[in-house]
Amino acid sequence: METDNLTKNGRSSTRRAFLAAGAAGLAATAGCTGSAAGGDDVVRIGVLEDRSGDFALNGTSKWQTSVLAVEELNDSGGILGKEIELFDPDPQSDNQRYQELTRRLIQREEVDALWAGYSSAARETIRPLINQYEQLYFYTTQYEGGVCDNTIFPVGATARQQLGAVVPYLIEEYGPRIYTIAADYNFGQISGDWVRILAEENDAEVIGEEFIPLDVSQFGSTINRIQEADPDFVMSMLVGQNHTSFYNQRASAGLDIPIGSSTTMAQGYEHRRLNPPALADMYVGVNYMQEIGTEASDTFVERFYDRWPDAPYLNQEAQNNYFSIHMYAEAAERAGTTDQEAVIEELEKGMEIDAPEGTIELDGDTHHMNHHMRIGHADANHDLAFGNEQYIGAGFLREVGCSLPTDPETTQYLPAEVYDL
Amino acid sequence: MTYDTLNLLFQFLDSFAFIVLATVGLAVIFGMMGIINLAHGEFILVGAYGTTLSYGAGLPLVAAMGVGVLVTTVFGLVLERTVIRRLYHRPLDSMVATWGLSLLSIQLARIVFGNTLSQVGTPLGSISYGPFSYSAYRVALAGIAVAVLGGLYWLFMYTEFGTQARATMEDEPTARSMGVDTDRIYLGTFGLGSALAGLTGALYAPTITMTPELGASFLVEAFVTVVVGGSSVLVGTSLAGGFLGVVNATFTNLAGTFIGQVAMLLAAILAIRLLPEGITGLLDSWREKRAEGEQ
């Protein structure tokens, strides 16, 4: 049902008939064209998602939904009557490999569109290449926000969207004294800035902050420092497998202060992996989790597990890969070509798409999505409840005046440049 | 004020336990046999997975930990017979081979068990004092670390295996000529090192996230400690563990986790610069000087 919604425009039965003929023709000429890259016979999509290494836990389902989306599109006739060919080597959570593979996919495979990367570090490592070759690129992880870049579509929710949903809610619910713990790289640092901005906007205060290197897995003193400061709630933007240990250690040390997050549960499904009550009273601001329970989501979840029966979880980012591949297909159909410039122009007109999270819009000016943001809450048994649904736009980039169709640039804006921190 | 002192004490116990337990298996294999075991983290992985999986299958936690240790010991013995025994006296080759083993084990774990296992919760609850609390299990780990060091001391000083093991590591040809089955001693020592790594994995399984890369978070600490400690397994590990534990706990408590890590690495660099033979080297030279003084 979701497929029908997602692809309702422009995939009529007449086209399907046309397609069949085209495919037959294709088969006949396949011998001549061979596998020469850049031919017009197929649409080439590159997907670089981590299936091994540090981020395999988060990247695997991103890859799985990408495959699912491509298969669905191919089953219903491909894009513009052409079959989609998927190039999906495993970058292994290694930024150097990201660079090599991105170069290869752009230069040798000449992909028409690229999906790549879990971490912000991976995105930033390939961004110079994306800029150099003006490659149409979708980044789907929820991230710190601020990327205003000609050919990049960061379709995941931003910190302002994720934190903007959960921080004001927790201030209201528990009080104004916040303690931030975050991973010590651009994502965590910028997220920390956002917590401070949102605190100020809501008459609250960040009374303590700690940025923790990614390889740290021991949190005894962090827990003591939080207890010393005695905040009303903790905001945690910890990331990755080592940091996940924090939640278990928090439970065993008896730290029973509520925690808000923009990362936990929605990406690494900690509520499934950790023994309760590690995540008791944990809140996360998200656009999607497989448990949100809407009809569109349930259909999507069912189809996902039909295709990947052994998959452990379907995370927020995986949904983003899924809808953005369908969104790309739609834009290419409307543009009537897979020429990257034309597709980008089409996307920049703005677009509405029926995603599993709900119907959402692409904001053409900033290349970001307006998302349905929800607050997920885990109780002591790790049962989830969702509430406080809001539709939040790409506010920050609008504030700084990012308007890509009229004013092309390749910048990442930082909250510190705009706000008094 | 007293609460702060308690915080510092608990943090020290925590760091000390982590450093000693992360190191002790590596120290036995590296210090005594000269094998630079880059797969040490994966031995810990085997112990942790063995424990978690058998706990998941319904065993009580302590029995599950026993299974974790057993599985790691067998894993180590098999590797010794098939790969490691060809590498004695070839430290650089041992590094390359064990690194390969490490990559292989991680991918194998991923293929067989997936990217994660659901985790065992930490037992024993917490100790509360004023506004603070600390995980009781993690304090208990410090006791276990001391017990492990004590057990090793007894094993190497008071058992026949210990004497023969020390003799073999000191001078293998002479030991063999005295009738020591050195082949068996090597096997036994490697098995012991593996069992200790497995024990570390088993003990930390309830506190860390179960993914195929979990060994990595132990490896750096272990190597730094072995290098700072020097060649003697017991003296080196316990003193280096104490020294690095104090540095780590103090700076972590004063200025946060990041500074704690930086301080520990700086301390390690300083120690290596000033004491190229490690802490045990320093003790040996003191002992020699005193011996000369007495003559």
- Give the bridge partners for A234, in sequence order: A179, A259
- Record: contact A227-B133, CB cut-off 8 A: yes
Say whether pLDDT at A4 is over 60: no
Query: pLDDT, tens digit, for every residue of A39-79?
Result: 568 999 999 999 988 788 899 999 999 999 999 999 999 99
Mean pLDDT computed over every residue of chain B? 87
Of B7, B116, B260, the CB nearest to A273: B116
Give the model's pLDDT for residue A42.
94
pLDDT band of A131, cuts 50, 70, 90: very high
pLDDT tens column, A161-212:
999 999 999 999 999 999 999 999 888 999 999 999 999 999 999 999 999 9
Q: Is B217 in Cβ contact with A242 (below 8 Å)?
A: yes
Interface touch B116/A276, C-beta < 8 Å:
no
The per-residue pLDDT for A333 is: 95
10 Å Cβ neighbour count for B199?
24
Phi, psi of B28 (to 5 degrees): -65, -45
pLDDT digits 0-9 by tens, B205-240: 988 888 888 888 888 888 888 888 887 778 888 888
How high does pLDDT run on average in chain A?
A: 88
Q: At residue A12, does pLDDT exceed 50? A: no
Q: Which position has the higher pLDDT, B142 or B230?
A: B142
Q: Residue A241: which of B209, B257, B258 has the nearest Cβ?
A: B209
Q: Which residue has the tokens 């929710």?
A: A157
Whether residue B168 is predicted with pLDDT greater than 60 in this model: the reply is yes
* Residue B128 φ/ψ, nearest 5 degrees: -105, 145
* Nearest-CA distance B177 → chain A (Å): 48
pLDDT for position A39: 52
Residue A277, preceding peptide bond in cis (omega within 30° of 0): yes
For residue A292, the model assigns a pLDDT of 92
Interface contact flag, B116 A242, Cβ < 8 Å? no
Say which residue the tokens 């308007």 belong to.
A403
Give the gap in angstroms from C-alpha A373 to the nearest C-alpha of chain B.
28
Judged against a pLDDT cut of 80, whether residue B158 lies above it is answered with yes
Predicted local distance difference test score (pLDDT) of residue B229 = 85
Q: Cβ contact (<8 Å) for A220 and B10? A: yes
Q: Give the mean model confidence (pLDDT) for residues A280-308.
A: 94
Interface of A with B (CB under 8 A): 52-54, 56-57, 60, 184, 210-213, 215-225, 227-228, 230, 241-242, 244-245, 248-249, 251-255, 272-276, 278, 310, 312
- Contact call for A249 and B253, based on CB within 8 A: no
Sole residue written with tokens 């570090």 = A121
B107 contact residues in A (CB cutoff 8 A):
52
Contact yes or no for B14 and A220 at CB 8 A: yes
**Tokens standing for A340?**
């990257």
The predicted-structure confidence for B184-210, as pLDDT tens digits, reads as follows: 888 999 999 999 999 999 999 988 888
Q: Which is it for strands A205-212 and A177-183: parallel, antiparallel or unpaired?
A: parallel
Nearest CB among A224, A248, A310 relative to B119 is that of A248
pLDDT of A34 strictly over 80: no
Residue B194 DSSP label: H
> Residue A6: its pLDDT value, please?
39
At B294 the pLDDT is: 64
How many other C-beta atoms are found inside a 10 Å radius of the C-beta of residue B172? 16
Q: Which of B126, B207, B256 sits opposite A248 (nearest CB)?
A: B207
Using a CB-CB cut-off of 8 Å, the residues of chain A touching B249 are 221
Contact assessment for residue A134 and residue A340, using Cβ atoms and an 8 Å cutoff: yes
pLDDT tens digit sequence for A376-386:
999 999 999 99
Q: Encode pLDDT of A85-110 as tens digits.
A: 999 999 998 999 999 999 999 999 99
Q: What is the pLDDT of residues B76-99, one digit of tens each?
A: 999 999 988 888 878 888 889 999
Q: How many CB atoms within 10 Å of residue A332?
A: 25
Tokens of B270: 């300083």
- Nearest one of B258, B134, B123 to A227, comparing CA atoms: B134
DSSP string, A5-72: HHT-TT--HHHHHHHHHHHHHHHHHHHHHTT-TT-SSEEEEEEE--SSSTTHHHHHHHHHHHHHHHHH
- Distances from the Cα of A213 to the Cα of A186, A189, A243, B221, B256, angstroms: 11, 11, 9, 15, 11
Taking alpha carbons only, the member of A114, A147, A162 closest to residue A321 is: A114
| Lowest-confidence region among A231-240, A400-409, B113-122, B252-261 | B113-122
Over pLDDT 70: what percentage of chain A?
90
Question: Which residues touch A360 (CB under 8 Å, ≥6 apart)?
Answer: A287, A323, A352, A353, A369, A370, A371, A372
CB contact under 8 A, B119 and A275: yes
Neighbours of B130 (CB within 10 A): 12
Per-residue pLDDT tens over the stretch A327-379: 999 999 999 999 999 999 999 999 999 999 999 999 999 999 999 999 999 99
What mean pLDDT is predicted for residues A122-128? 94
With a cut of 80, say whether residue A287 has pLDDT above it. Answer: yes
User: Could you report how far apart the first and last alpha carbons of chain B are, in Å?
Assistant: 50
| pLDDT (tens digit per residue) in B19-70 | 899 998 998 888 778 788 899 999 999 999 999 999 989 889 999 999 999 9
Give the number of other CB atoms < 10 A from CB of residue B250: 17
Residue of A212, A220, A253 with shortest CB distance to B258 = A212
B64 phi, psi to nearest 5 deg = -60, -40
Determine the Cα–Cα distance for residues B25 and B98; give it in Å rounded to an integer. 15
The helix, strand and coil proportions of chain B, stated in percent and rounded to the nearest 5, come to: 80, 5, 20
Q: Please give the pLDDT value at position A15.
A: 41
Chains A and B form CB pairs within 8 A to the count of 134
What pLDDT is stored for residue B89 in this prediction? 79
Contacts of B119 in chain A (CB under 8 A): 248, 273-275, 278
Judged by CB atoms closer than 8 Å, whether chains meet at B257 and A219 is answered as yes
Q: State the Cα angle at A30 between A26 and A35, rounded to 5°.
A: 120
**CA–CA gap between residue A38 and residue A111 (Å, rounded):** 8
A272 contacts B135? CB cut-off 8 A? no
Q: Parallel, antiparallel, or unpaired for β A113-116 and A410-412?
A: unpaired
Cβ-based neighbours of A343, under 8 Å, separated by 6 or more: A112, A113, A136, A328, A331, A332, A335, A337
* pTM (global) more than 0.80: yes
Report CB contact under 8 Å: B121, A245: no
Q: Which of B43, B42, B37 is nearest to B94 (CA)?
A: B37
Count the neighbouring beta carbons within 10 Å of the beta carbon of residue B143: 11
Please measure the distance between the N-terminal and C-terminal CA atoms of chain A and give it in whole angstroms.
Answer: 47
* Token representation of residue B206: 């309830």
Q: Is B267 or A53 the better-scoring residue by pLDDT?
A: B267
CA distance A264 to chain B (A): 13
> Among positive and negative, which fits the CA dihedral A219, A223, A228, A231?
positive
| Partner residues linked to B117 by β-bridges | none
Q: Say whether pLDDT at A35 is over 70.
A: no
Distant-in-sequence, close-in-space partners of B271: CB < 8 Å, separation ≥ 6: B228, B240, B243, B278, B279
**pLDDT tops 60 at residue A23:** no
